[in-house]
């Protein structure tokens, strides 16, 4: 996946916003108020950080050379993925989904309720 495909895929998810809180080269996607992915746009190849279950994070690092401990993140919960086309897009999408789900689960009750309403509205549109 390229940066634009990642952006579009993330923005399809309810409650997702795109922002650049660090600098103009780091695209951050948040679900409600919490970050679930950030992509370094100024690197070639690009890299992205995703939240991950700690056991799965270790498993992915062992299996894929392009998955490393999270750069500038809690290495127990975050992985950095080098977007060098060595990992199939379907896995990248699944890992984005996992990160979104993990972060969504940790939202405050009020935000979870708002997100649930957004998801219901999105289903009605489809």
Residue 50's domain comprises: 3-125
* pLDDT at residue 9, rounded to an integer: 98
pTM here? 0.93
* pLDDT at residue 116, rounded to an integer: 93
Q: What does the pLDDT look like over 58-96, one tens digit per residue?
A: 999 999 999 999 988 888 999 999 999 999 999 999 999
For residue 126, is pLDDT > 80? Answer: no
For residue 125, is pLDDT > 90? Answer: no
Q: CATH no. for residue 94?
A: 3.90.1150.30
Whether cis (ω within 30° of 0) applies to the bond prior to 45 is yes
Q: What is the mean pLDDT of residues 25-48?
A: 96
* pLDDT at residue 124, rounded to an integer: 77
* Residue 38 confidence class, pLDDT cut points 50, 70, 90: very high
- What's the number of domains the chain is made of? 1
Task: Looking at the chain, list the stretches that DSSP marks H as alpha helix, in order from N- to C-terminal side.
Answer: 3-11, 54-63, 89-105, 109-125
**Radius of gyration of the chain from Cα atoms?**
14
Q: What does the pLDDT look like over 95-121, one tens digit per residue?
A: 999 999 999 999 999 999 999 999 888
């Amino acid at each position: 996946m390229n940066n634009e495909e990642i952006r579009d895929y993330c923005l399809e998810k309810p409650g997702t916003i795109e922002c650049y809180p660090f600098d103009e080269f780091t695209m951050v996607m948040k679900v409600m108020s919490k970050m679930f992915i950030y992509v370094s746009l100024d690197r070639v190849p690009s890299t992205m950080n995703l939240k991950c279950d700690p056991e799965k994070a270790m498993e992915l690092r062992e299996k894929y050379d392009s998955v490393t401990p999270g750069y500038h993140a809690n290495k127990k919960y975050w992985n950095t993925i080098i977007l060098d086309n060595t990992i199939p897009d379907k896995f990248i999408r699944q890992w984005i989904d996992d990160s979104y789900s993990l972060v969504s689960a940790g939202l405050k009750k009020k935000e979870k309720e708002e997100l649930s309403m957004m998801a219901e509205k999105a289903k009605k549109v489809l």
